[in-house]
């Protein structure tokens, strides 16, 4: 399998062919997040409602007071927090997705400096804000209201602080068990990880870097002389780490929308099964849990509609089924549509239970 079939092959020509499916998967995760964001905005999921039951309330509102100040002064602090967190959540994910989209398009054009400059903001900063909302939205709201300038202060967010924050957020965002806080930290913040993004973020953003583990070499300026024909960026674990990070962000997004009361359990289960299943197939060694589950539980449905041969899903073909909903029959060579999402919705799964 070289491609999942989500992106026009003409767009993928500059990427080494063996990484096409990995790039498509990252874009798929972006599109899932964007679609959920749009759906929440259509449903006005971030809105709050309250009754103005007293004359004092009506008089205070008529004075032209800002609605957040009204909620605070009228003893509706919980509603104030809910309104602010909801609003920040939608705006932040929208901003992050703009950067991720343009970064992925830059990778399609071998614009490596542009790609990692764009990824730095959502992954190194945005993710920490999202994690704070997930881990303790009350503390996040208090800090945002009274000390927003220190939301990303290094005094609190050193290595131990970041790992503790990620652990708390991922523990509350059910579905993150495919990875762990140490792997997320190493991918984004650890300069000692030669395959990670920390050094790339800094060198893509700054012409000169002084940090001992990431110094600009003599006779050089960061990335200025980088040969765009080199494949090392694609081959260095970029997509495995990027997919992991975007998937963690999406799971946190679902948790935050669940608190708004709008996240669908069926959507959660479908997303977790198909996305983690595709991630396992693309980036992990050994057998895939999700592929084994499909072969064991859906065998009666897995037949070629042309030659009626019994089909078994191989790990290499799992992303095409889970995401592209395509099945390949090795007996008659037919490549056919298979309604996997519909089938999955008919099974009583509870993948988010501990």
At residue 329 the predicted structure's pLDDT band, cuts being 50, 70 and 90, is: confident
Digit-coded pLDDT (tens) for 186-236? 999 999 998 999 999 999 999 998 887 788 888 889 888 888 899 999 988
Residue 271 domain flag: no
Percent of the chain with pLDDT over 70: 95
Last residue of a domain, one of 263, 296, 312: 263
27 and 169 belong to one structural domain: yes
* Residue 72 clears pLDDT 80, i.e. is over it: no
77 and 217 belong to one structural domain: yes
| Choice between 17 and 81, residue whose per-residue pLDDT is larger | 17
Give φ, ψ of 211 to 5 degrees: -55, 135
Overall number of domains in the chain: 2
226 and 170 belong to one structural domain: yes
pLDDT at 354: 43
30 and 163 belong to one structural domain: yes
Residue 4 domain flag: no
Q: Give me 323's structure tokens.
A: 């995401």
218 and 307 belong to one structural domain: no
Residue 275 domain flag: no
User: The whole model's pTM is what?
Assistant: 0.91
Residue 220 domain flag: yes
For residues 6 and 21, what is the distance between their CA atoms, to the nearest angstrom? 9
| Choice between 62 and 4, residue whose per-residue pLDDT is larger | 4
At residue 101 the predicted structure's pLDDT band, cuts being 50, 70 and 90, is: very high
80 and 204 belong to one structural domain: yes
303 and 246 belong to one structural domain: no
215 and 127 belong to one structural domain: yes
Digit-coded pLDDT (tens) for 333-352? 888 888 888 888 777 766 54
Q: How far is CA 166 from CA 160, 176, 195, 267, 321, in A?
A: 10, 11, 20, 24, 31
pLDDT at 60: 73
Q: Give me 335's structure tokens.
A: 């490549």
Q: At what angle do helices 77-108 and 112-120 cross, to 10 degrees?
A: 170
96 and 175 belong to one structural domain: yes
- What is the domain extent for residue 161? 9-263
Residue 313 domain flag: yes
315 and 217 belong to one structural domain: no
């Amino acid at each position: 399998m070289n491609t999942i079939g989500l992106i026009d092959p003409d767009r993928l020509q500059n990427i080494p062919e063996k990484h096409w499916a990995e790039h498509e998967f990252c874009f798929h995760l972006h599109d899932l997040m964007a679609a959920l964001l749009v759906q929440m905005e259509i449903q006005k999921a971030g809105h709050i409602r309250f009754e103005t039951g007293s004359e004092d309330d009506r008089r205070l509102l008529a004075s032209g007071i800002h609605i957040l100040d009204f909620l605070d002064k009228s003893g509706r602090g919980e509603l104030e927090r809910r309104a602010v967190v909801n609003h920040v959540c939608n705006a932040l994910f929208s901003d992050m997705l703009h950067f991720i989209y343009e970064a992925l398009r830059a990778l399609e054009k071998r614009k490596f400096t542009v790609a990692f400059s764009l990824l730095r903001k959502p992954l190194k900063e945005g993710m920490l804000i999202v994690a704070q909302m997930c881990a303790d939205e009350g503390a996040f709201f208090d800090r945002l209201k009274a000390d927003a300038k220190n939301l990303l202060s290094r005094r609190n967010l050193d290595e131990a602080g970041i790992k503790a924050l990620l652990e708390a957020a991922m523990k509350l965002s059910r579905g993150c068990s495919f990875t762990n806080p140490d792997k997320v930290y190493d991918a984004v913040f650890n300069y000692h990880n030669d395959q990670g993004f920390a050094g790339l973020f800094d060198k893509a953003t700054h012409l000169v870097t002084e940090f001992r583990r990431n110094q600009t070499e003599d006779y050089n300026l960061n990335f200025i002389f980088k040969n765009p024909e080199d494949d090392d960026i694609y081959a260095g674990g970029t997509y495995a780490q990027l997919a992991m990070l975007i998937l963690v962000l999406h799971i946190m997004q679902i948790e935050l929308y669940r608190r708004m009361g709008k996240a669908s359990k069926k959507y959660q289960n479908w997303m977790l099964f198909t996305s983690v299943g595709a991630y396992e197939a693309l980036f992990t060694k050994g057998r895939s849990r999700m592929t084994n589950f499909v072969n064991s539980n859906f065998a009666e449905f897995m037949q070629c509609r042309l030659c009626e041969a019994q089909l078994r899903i191989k790990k290499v073909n799992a992303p095409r089924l889970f995401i592209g909903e395509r099945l390949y029959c090795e007996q008659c060579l037919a490549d056919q549509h298979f309604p996997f999402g519909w089938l999955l919705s008919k099974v009583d799964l509870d993948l988010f239970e501990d």
